[in-house]
A and B are shown apart, each in its own frame.
Chain A
Amino acid sequence: MPVGGMWGSDLVAIRPEFFQVMKSPFDDTETVCVKALVPDYAIVHVQEADIYGNCRILGPSYQDALMARAAKKTIVTTERIVGSYRMQEEPKLTAIPHFLVEAVVELPGGAKPGICYPEYQAVDWDKHKAYQKAVKADEVQKYADMMLEGRL
């Protein structure tokens, strides 16, 4: 896909599998093209989802909706399952519609030790460090088990 910017970056030459330069068919200007990324999965945590996968993101949404559109399959974890009436009240607030979603998991606190606005608004640094340690020690499964059991 053609994009703006990127001229002058050495990234273009070192990653030809992702970046190519072509002439615009409209005015012959040089344009950088970026290969579309298609992840197998996007895993997105939201504040509210219904059982069909319609998601409301009640704070900064970053590029979550974009990732859900790009991925082959999207798995949603949610602070809570809500009735679809919530979406019907204000359809514009549905950031990710159900047809993009493969599975919904109700998982309160699922973004910890990170942030989920406005439920928990500060990073839990002690637990974040424990996670980093677990990654280095190849003990992520153990960390996840302890977290899910509330033993962290």
Chain B
Amino acid sequence: MEYGKPEMMAVAIIRQIEDGDIVFHGLASSTPMVAMKAAKALGKEFTYLTLSDGVDHDWTRPPYVASTLTENTYTGSVATFGLDEIFDLYCSGKGDIAFLSCLQMDKEGRIAMSYLGGDYERPKLRGPGGAGSATLTPVTKKTTIWKTTHDKKTFIEHVDFATTAPPLDKEMTVITPLCIFKKPVGEKYLKVAYIFPYTTLEEVKENTGWEIDQTEVPVMEPPTAEELAAIKKVDPNNILHFEFK
């Protein structure tokens, strides 16, 4: 079966989830939404929380829009748990993964989500803010950032205004179309943990705004037929490709 960057990213997200995890993704998060539905189809046993209040909604109903604020992530839920409750849950240390994104990121995993260009008062682009990432990143066991572009405008040497930054005592994972970066517990900087099968470490270096001094990194296993079938099954409308158009 064929696959591209969207499927590889989705599979990397699926593999990030472990049985027993409590997992949350934010709004406008079509990539983790499809991946998490596929993880359910693969039989992973985890708790799926969304901004639509739904707990473990009926993942067999295919998404029809890229928005993650519709009834699609609510209908068939077994309980409701609002965002304020999710924040409290994560702040009490019970949240395992939050799939979040960013406008820019630097080598320390510091995230720009508030603005790009100019300054805080007079930005060129006002971002969606970051109540979510600023609250969740310091308290989540495995904060995982997904970003569907990997270039030097996105991954830069230094972010001027960090909406949030990963704490020293927690790991952070960053999933891009080319690779997975990880900041291990107790360390300050992101390292390339895996590259994807269709790329090279050279290509990753060329598209990253900080210097990567690693010379050898493992290649992630390509998606299995089972993983690709699960993605196809939960996403017949191909919402997964929305972020890659």
Q: What's the least CB distance linking B37 to chain A, in Å? A: 18
Q: A5-B90, A5-B138 are in contact. Are A117 and B71 (CB under 8 A)?
A: yes
Q: Are A60 and B135 in contact (CB under 8 A)?
A: no
In A1-52, the 8 Å CB interface with B consists of 3-11, 14
Q: What's the least CB distance linking A91 to chain B, in Å? A: 16
B139 located at the interface, meaning its Cβ lies under 8 Å from any Cβ of chain A in the complex:
yes
B244 located at the interface, meaning its Cβ lies under 8 Å from any Cβ of chain A in the complex:
no
In-complex Cβ contact of A10 among B82, B87, B163 (8 A): B163
A7, A11, A123, most chain B CB atoms within 10 A:
A11
Task: Give chain B residues whose Cβ lies under 8 Å from the Cβ of A61.
Answer: 53, 80, 82
Q: Which residue of B lies closest to A12 (CB)?
A: B134
Task: Give chain B residues whose Cβ lies under 8 Å from the Cβ of A115.
Answer: 69-71
Give how many A residues have a beta carbon under 8 Å from the other chain's beta carbons: 22
In B109-155, the 8 Å CB interface with A consists of 110, 114, 120, 130, 134-139
Q: A6-B134, A59-B74, A123-B67 are in contact. Are A66 and B84 (CB under 8 A)?
A: yes
Task: Give chain A residues whose Cβ lies under 8 Å from the Cβ of B130.
Answer: 9, 11
Q: Which residue of A lies closest to B91 (CB)?
A: A4
In B159-174, the 8 Å CB interface with A consists of 161-167
Q: Are B135 and A6 in contact (CB under 8 A)?
A: yes
Which bracket fits the contact residues of B?
35 or more
B54 located at the interface, meaning its Cβ lies under 8 Å from any Cβ of chain A in the complex:
yes
Q: A5-B90, A60-B52 are in contact. Are A121 and B70 (CB under 8 A)?
A: yes
Q: What's the least CB distance linking B209 to chain A, in Å? A: 19
Complex alpha-carbon distance, A123 and B164, angstroms: 31
B65 located at the interface, meaning its Cβ lies under 8 Å from any Cβ of chain A in the complex:
yes
B214 located at the interface, meaning its Cβ lies under 8 Å from any Cβ of chain A in the complex:
no
Task: Give chain A residues whose Cβ lies under 8 Å from the Cβ of B114.
Answer: 10-11
Task: Give chain B residues whose Cβ lies under 8 Å from the Cβ of A99.
Answer: none
Scan B82-99; emit 1 where CB is below 8 A from any A CB, else 0: 111001101110000000
Label chain B's interface by main secondary structure: loop
Task: Give chain A residues whose Cβ lies under 8 Å from the Cβ of B54.
Answer: 60
Q: Are B71 and A4 in contact (CB under 8 A)?
A: no
Q: What's the least CB distance linking A97 to chain B, in Å? A: 17
Label chain A's interface by main secondary structure: loop
A135 located at the interface, meaning its Cβ lies under 8 Å from any Cβ of chain B in the complex:
no
Q: Are B90 and A8 in contact (CB under 8 A)?
A: no
Q: What's the least CB distance linking B84 to chain A, in Å? A: 6
Complex alpha-carbon distance, A118 and B76, angstroms: 13
A141 located at the interface, meaning its Cβ lies under 8 Å from any Cβ of chain B in the complex:
no
Q: What's the least CB distance linking A69 to chain B, in Å? A: 11
Q: Are A122 and B165 in contact (CB under 8 A)?
A: no
A63 located at the interface, meaning its Cβ lies under 8 Å from any Cβ of chain B in the complex:
yes
A85 located at the interface, meaning its Cβ lies under 8 Å from any Cβ of chain B in the complex:
no
Q: Are B74 and A62 in contact (CB under 8 A)?
A: no
In-complex Cβ contact of A121 among B71, B87, B90, B162 (8 A): B71
Q: Are A5 and B71 in contact (CB under 8 A)?
A: no
Q: A62-B53, A117-B74 are in contact. Are A5 and B69 (CB under 8 A)?
A: no
Q: A4-B139, A9-B134, A11-B163 are in contact. Are A62 and B83 (CB under 8 A)?
A: yes
In A120-145, the 8 Å CB interface with B consists of 121-123
Task: Give chain B residues whose Cβ lies under 8 Å from the Cβ of A6.
Answer: 134-135, 138
Q: Which residue of A lies closest to B110 (CB)?
A: A8
What are 29 inter-chain pairs, A to B, with CB distance below 8 A? A3-B135, A4-B92, A4-B135, A5-B90, A5-B134, A6-B134, A6-B138, A7-B167, A8-B110, A8-B138, A8-B164, A8-B166, A9-B162, A9-B163, A10-B162, A11-B130, A11-B134, A14-B161, A60-B69, A61-B82, A62-B82, A62-B83, A63-B83, A63-B84, A118-B71, A121-B70, A121-B71, A122-B65, A123-B67
